[in-house]
Amino acid sequence: MRLSGDDRTAIQDLVSRYNMAHDTDDVEGWLDTFTEDATFITGRSRREGHEELREFFLHGGERLPNVRHITYNSVFESIEGASDRVLMHSDLLVFRADDPPVLVLTRRYHDTLRRDGGEWRFERREITAD
């Protein structure tokens, strides 16, 4: 499937909403970027569905104050036979917004996106160190 310009814009908006919600501790906004049956994988941890994702967001580890997530270098892959799903691989930088900014970590996202109710959402999101 070749993504339209509108789909690419909608997916970029999804990524931006995810980052902004994460950085402002907006759990509901963050959850809205995932399908109800989403899977979220970080390292050896796997969460499925909104309730497990909510628990992870609220209590899953140390929350660093004043951070900014920057997602870039997004590359899309088609899923054969799927008109409402696409794979996306992206790089991630997380900075603490100090003066000067401090790099906290770099990671890579491996995502499956699904059009859900007319909106693109994360069906599966995996964060890796590769």
Over residues 19-35, the pLDDT tens digits come to 999 999 999 999 999 99
Residue 41: what residue type?
I
Over residues 75-88, the pLDDT tens digits come to 999 888 788 999 99
The pTM score is 0.93
- Given a contact cutoff of 8 angstroms between Cβ atoms, the answer to whether 106 and 91 are in contact is yes
> Which residues are paired to 71 by β-bridges?
92
